[in-house]
Chains A and B, each alone.
Chain A
Amino acid sequence: GAVVSQHPSWVICKSGTSVKIECRSLDFQATTMFWYRQFPKQSLMLMATSNEGSKATYEQGVEKDKFLINHASLTLSTLTVTSAHPEDSSFYICSARDPGTGRETQYFGPGTRLLVL
């Protein structure tokens, strides 16, 4: 089946620094990827939809200037948490749909755990 990877798997940073998370579709091209955030013992909350070659679409309440998304190619989307603060500590998960199998099934990356000190 389709595989999505994320890098890094975990990161610890100081408050005020920026952190970049990569999401790659390894065996298919994804024109659309999704970024989710999950706090402990909670569900996934969609942050934004990453569109290849165009601007990302952000969900209500998500600051686009704080969470920069770049979908530079059909296999790579990046999420940059700018000027990270402790409240940004969370589990960030990306997903992508394989156009070859239709738009219905999302394939999720393994997630990136961010801890901001």
Chain B
Amino acid sequence: RKEVEQDPGPFNVPEGATVAFNCTYSNSASQSFFWYRQDCRKEPKLLMSVYSSGNEDGRFTAQLNRASQYISLLIRDSKLSDSATYLCVVNPNAGNQFYFGTGTSLTVIP
């Protein structure tokens, strides 16, 4: 079983829509969780760390469900500039190896 699994999409949504991505992880002892954004042929950039209580940053909301071992990312009022691949990342032992999902592709359509 893969450490991290994501729906690869693609998700094609109109501007202004709300879109949600989910990601599951296999190691129940995992400590740290992140969402990264990656534009075509660029490096991943940290979008949000995901905290146990959930956290929000403007139009972006991240949630962690430890019981079901999944994390989610909600994007409200989608912008054209949100078009990218969103990578779910799990750090099982808080310090060393990061496990990345394969990424979910989002295209926001005018």
B is a partner of A: no
Chain B interfacial positions (CB closer than 8 Å to A): none
Q: Which positions in A face B, CB cutoff 8 Å? A: none
